[in-house]
Chains A and B, each alone.
Chain A
Amino acid sequence: MNVLLQYATVLILTAFVGTEIIAKVPSILHTPLMSGSNAIHGVILVGAMLVLGSAATNLEEVLGFLAVILATLNVVGGFVVTDRMLEMFKPRQPKAPTTKSDGDTP
């Protein structure tokens, strides 16, 4: 039961920290927040790898195989689409035509 308690501790602390951080996300970025957090729950891929990697029966193999496919879809698609979206958010370009920077300051 000690392990369970440790997991519960992690869960509760994360819930509070997460809420604090996420509450600070401005509404302008709520769509990327959704797709970004979507990508993060794609971490279930790690779980899917573990169950397929320990599969002992054909049934487990089939289920695990499907789980890895779905989880990969989730994680890869999630990060790619979030990146594509965030790339579009640009500040106002400086009006002065003298500077030729791409606005790609670090």
Chain B
Amino acid sequence: MSRETLIDLLYLFSATTFLVALKGLGSPKHARRGNLVAAFGMLVAIVATFFKYVDGHSLHHVGLILLAMFIGAIIAVPTARFVEMTAMPQLVAIFNGVGGGAASLVSITEFVHIKSSHPATYVTLEVLLGVLIGTVSFAGSAIAFAKLQELMTGRPITYPGQQIINAVVGLIAVALIITILVSGSTPLLWTLLALSFVLGVAFVLPIGGADVPVLISLLNSFTGLAVAASGFTLGSNLLIIAGTLVGASGILLTRLMSKAMGRSLSNVLFSAFGSVITATGADGGEARSVRSGTPEDIGVLLSFASKVVLIPGYGLAVSQAQQVLRELAELLEAKDVQVFYAIHPVAGRMPGHMNVLLAEANVPYEDLIEMDEANSELQTADVAMVVGANDTVNPAAANDPSSPIYGMPIIHADLAENVVFLKRSMRPGFAGIDNELLYNPKTILVFGDAKDTLTKLVAVVKAS
């Protein structure tokens, strides 16, 4: 067997492990093993690459490659190990951005390398697409990171004629690609690079608030496609397979997320959602009566219930109260109260984020139920307790066609006998919209920090 065939076989093995990893994610039981298998497959591919011949010689600059890997690894490992789980969306945004940047750089370097040999037009096209998509992903992820990390406002940033300007920038990029295809000019490649950067920033600026997570899935998919484009250029099936898998996964998640918000993808990307609502939310504060209760009342209510559905939102994680919530749930279970955690698909700051935050607090995954199941459980529940969630239980999404979140599937907390709402203040949520549920006669509000309130509840339930 020739050296090249052996290496290609190892690449095939590696591509297979990626599929195994994704298949493993079908259940929490096998997910971790799958991920480790893929990591091993990746290692095999990397080691095999060291033995590959390019341009008829073995790899040059092996020392430089190892040095660069070392630098990358010593930055990546501590970051990945110690970052807070609440900061996961930012971290995914960064790792996604650097992947896009790497794909773009690979395409550029390859273009510079093969330029003198007058490559076929389709090769140049692959390179240019790789540069365009990779750079948009890099720049877009950087802005998304800044928004999530609150280095800049998380709200949409709009200016007059924004859509038209973006469209013009996009068209210029296409025109540039065509010109480069015809002329093969390197200086124009740098212009395309700069323009792609501008396009990535301009594309992401008007997307804000609850839409950023959808954006990240989309950018994830972009990076995948950029990697696939590099795969075409370098003639690597491995890169094509891996890139396409990620592209497919990103697009699928993007669609799921948009659906979970009851909106179309184009509406998410182009409507600057949330910028207008803040204004109406701020002055729509006519005083309406709400019913408020003390932790003592609620503690008794919970202790004598037979089924309780907890509806956590990102506010829970903000006040670091997941552990206390789990403690409360365990106390209730010890009193033979059935307890579920109802997780909305967009709870948290990225798809499935809330599940991770609760798993971190040792909540067993059997207790985490998805929206549809939650809504059927709620019909027979005595208490629905909303902790740090808001928009995901807002009945306006179901019955107020004028509401901006109208059409979003929600968890129907109001189906339960009683609704308890733990809330810091009357301030509206991530999407900036007032919540009808607060004024429902079934609803009891407990004001205060979620962690304080839950700690008091634990004490009351323990005593009763």
Contacts from A to B (Cβ < 8 Å)? 3-4, 7, 10-11, 14-15, 17-19, 21-57, 59-61, 63-93
B176 located at the interface, meaning its Cβ lies under 8 Å from any Cβ of chain A in the complex: no
A91 CA / B246 CA spacing, docked (Å) = 28
Smallest Cβ-Cβ distance to A85: which chain B residue: B356
Q: Please report the C-alpha to C-alpha distance between residue A43 and residue B10 in the assembled complex, in whole angstroms.
A: 14
Q: Does B113 contact A (CB under 8 A)?
A: yes
Main secondary structure of the interface of A (DSSP, over half): helix
Partner of A89, one of B60, B112, B345, B365: B365
Q: Among the listed stretches B49-57, B303-311, B402-410, which one makes contact with chain A, having 4 or more residues with CB under 8 Å of it?
A: B49-57
The answer to whether A27 touches B351 (Cβ under 8 A) is: yes
Ordered by A's residue number, 19 sampled pairs between the chains whose C-beta atoms are within 8 Å are A10-B244, A11-B228, A27-B345, A27-B355, A32-B25, A35-B91, A41-B246, A43-B238, A44-B230, A46-B11, A47-B239, A48-B105, A49-B50, A50-B52, A57-B112, A60-B112, A77-B77, A85-B356, A91-B364
- Cβ-defined contact, B239 with A43, below 8 A: yes
The answer to whether A18 touches B95 (Cβ under 8 A) is no
Contact (Cβ within 8 A) A70 B72: yes
Contacting residues of chain B (166-206) with chain A, CB-CB under 8 angstroms = none
Can you name the residue of chain A whose Cβ is closest to the Cβ of B45? A46
CB pair A83–B249 under 8 Å, yes or no, is no
Question: Smallest CB-CB separation from A66: which chain B residue?
Answer: B105
Measured CB to CB, the nearest residue on chain A to B222 is A41
Bound Cα distance from A82 to B252, whole angstroms: 19
Overall SS of chain B's interface = helix
B68 at the interface (CB under 8 A from A): yes
Q: Is residue B18 contacting chain A, with contact meaning CB distance below 8 A?
A: yes
9-residue interface stretch from B96-104, B286-294, B417-425: B96-104
Q: Closest chain A residue to B14 by CB distance?
A: A43
- Inter-chain contact A48/B88, CB cutoff 8 Å: no
Contact A73 B95 (CB under 8 A): yes
Whether A72 lies near B39 (C-beta < 8 A) is no
- A contact residues around B245 at 8 Å (CB): 14, 18, 22, 37, 40
Docked pose: A60 CA to B223 CA in angstroms: 22
B412 CB-CB contact with A under 8 Å: no
- Docked Cα-Cα span, A83 to B110, in Å, equals 33
Question: A28 to B22, alpha carbons, bound, how many Å?
Answer: 14
Chain A residues, CB < 8 A from B91: 35, 77, 81
Q: Chain A residues near B35 (CB, 8 Å)?
A: 32, 36, 39, 79, 82-83, 86
- Assess whether B65 is interfacial by the CB under 8 Å rule: yes
User: Does B72 contact A73, Cβ atoms closer than 8 Å?
Assistant: yes
Knowing A18-B22, A67-B102 touch, does A81 contact B359 (C-beta < 8 A)? no
Query: In the complex, what residue of chain A is closest to B59 when comparing beta carbons?
Result: A53
15 more contacts with CB within 8 A, not counting A30-B352, A74-B98, are A7-B240, A26-B26, A27-B343, A36-B21, A36-B38, A47-B103, A53-B61, A55-B60, A63-B108, A64-B109, A68-B65, A70-B72, A79-B42, A83-B32, A92-B364
